[in-house]
Chain A
Amino acid sequence: MNSKPRTAIATAATASGLAGLILAGLAGVLLPSVALAEELPTFTIEMKDGVMTPDHLDVPAGKDVKIVIKNTGTTPAEFESKRLRKEKVLAPGAESFVVLRGLSAGDYTFFDDFRPGAAQGTITAR
């Protein structure tokens, strides 16, 4: 088979593949599981150029909890916690949130991945 029809097919397939992927992503998301994020107990962590406020949070264990993260500094920050399995990159001034679903009791450390040597914070679930 010569290359012209193959290129055309590949292009058409790429376009439909992309569309399919996006649709699949959206479809995956119409599951109801995250619909009620507004009603969850909510905590806020402020990240400002390497300083995290507060650096310790107590949250209820076994329940869904929402943590709002604000970057109030002038430099980028990345909220990351290996144990929580959460990562959020935040440009200066950006705000985002993570939902923690049913933490077991214990301490979960988090840090700013853009400043790994700096202070770590802890979220304690009890």
Chain B
Amino acid sequence: MFAQVIFVVWRESVEALLVVGILHAWLAHNAADRGAMKFLWGGVAAGLLTAVALSVALVGFAEVLPPGWQDFFQAGLILAACGLIVQMVFWMRRHGRTLKRELEEGLSRSVQNGQWWGVFVLALAAIAREGSETVVFLYGILAAGAAGHLLQTTLAILLALAAAFATYWLLQVFARRTSWRLFFRVTEIMLLCLGSALLVTAVGYLVSFGLLPYTNPVWNTDFLLRDTSSFGGLVASLTGYRSEPDVVTIATWIVYWGGIIAAFRLESSFAAARSAKA
């Protein structure tokens, strides 16, 4: 049980840490000045503040606010994060290599600042998304003062956070030890998979609001990987995998990955047009 709490808290925080960690590595490699980093850390701080504010509202104002409000808010945050991730991947593919040179030549600073606001909001959304539930949960544990389990649970949570930061640090080490091309390729795939997971979750919220229908599962891949197991749950939260997907889930996968493939095609035809002109 102790191990389970550690694992779940780690899993919830690793998603946010992956987004922030990957952005950190990309910016450290490409951006010539410190400005971009301030947006990233500003977004993290704002995300933490938002998580605390949401938790205070959840705990303190539950009777006053309409029920289910936090689900609407979460769904909005998740959709925003998904869109920003995809936009960030494609923007980095296009501009990553020329960022340093453009800055040195004094070009396009306002364009870059626009993109850095996107970094800010993405960091905010990534942190705030799981942050509020985690804060409420922690508060509940500490307030319950419970029967001998308090110390154990607090310790479990601290260990989980330590594990999460270790994961983040590993990512930075990976960034420094491998070639930039390999690192960028691997992390862009990781981010695109995260985008898929976020979209599946956001669509899930729409189903739970009654805006999309519940339908029966179309197939069952429990024999491959059960999404109710520890590892399966982790894969599900990082890629959007479901072992018993229904029509709505499958449609979401098709729309998302279809859109990504179309975006790659568009990107290469623009690049070809640009080099034909040059």
Residues of chain A at the chain B interface (Cβ within 8 Å):
3, 6-7, 10, 13-14, 17-18, 21-22, 24-26, 28-31, 33-35, 37, 49-50, 64, 74-76, 78, 82-86, 89-94, 97-104, 106, 109, 111, 113-117, 120
Contact = CB atoms under 8 A, between A and B. Distances in A.
Contacts of B147: 74
B39 A82 contact: no
Contact of A76 (B141, B143, B214, B229): B141
Categorize the interface residue count of chain B.
35 or more
Nearest to A62: B214
B4 A10 contact: no
Contacts of B4: 114-116
- A-B CB proximity, top 6 nearest: A91-B140, A101-B210, A85-B204, A29-B69, A25-B73, A92-B144
A76 B144 CA distance: 10
Given A29-B69, A104-B213, 10 more contacts: A25-B76, A31-B72, A82-B236, A90-B137, A103-B214, A113-B8, A114-B8, A115-B1, A116-B4, A116-B228
A109 B244 CA distance: 11
A33 B211 CA distance: 11
Given A83-B246, A91-B143, A29 B72 contact: yes
Interface in B137-152: 137, 139-141, 143-144, 146-149
A19 B209 CA distance: 25
Contact of B38 (A10, A17, A83): A10
Given A21-B50, A75-B149, A104-B215, A33 B209 contact: yes
Contact of B217 (A7, A64, A83, A98): A83
B73 A92 contact: no
Interface string B27-51: 0000000010011001001100110
Given A75-B149, A82-B244, A102-B213, A10 B140 contact: no
A47 to B, nearest CB: 13
Given A75-B1, A91-B139, A92-B149, A101 B209 contact: yes
B8 A78 contact: yes
B233 A92 contact: no
A76 B142 CA distance: 11
B208 A37 contact: no
Interface stretch (B16-24, B60-68, B91-99, B266-274): B60-68
Determine the main DSSP class of A at the interface with B: mixed
Contacts of B35: 3, 6
B86 interface: no
Contacts of A37: 67-68
B141 A50 contact: no
Contacts of A93: 140, 144, 146
B102 interface: no
B275 interface: no
A116 B209 contact: no
B157 to A, nearest CB: 10
Contacts of A94: 140
A75 B153 contact: yes
Interface string B219-244: 00000000111100100100000111
Contacts of B242: 82
17 contacts: A6-B35, A14-B120, A22-B50, A22-B53, A25-B73, A30-B66, A74-B147, A74-B148, A75-B146, A76-B141, A76-B153, A82-B227, A93-B140, A93-B146, A102-B213, A104-B213, A115-B1
A42 B262 CA distance: 46
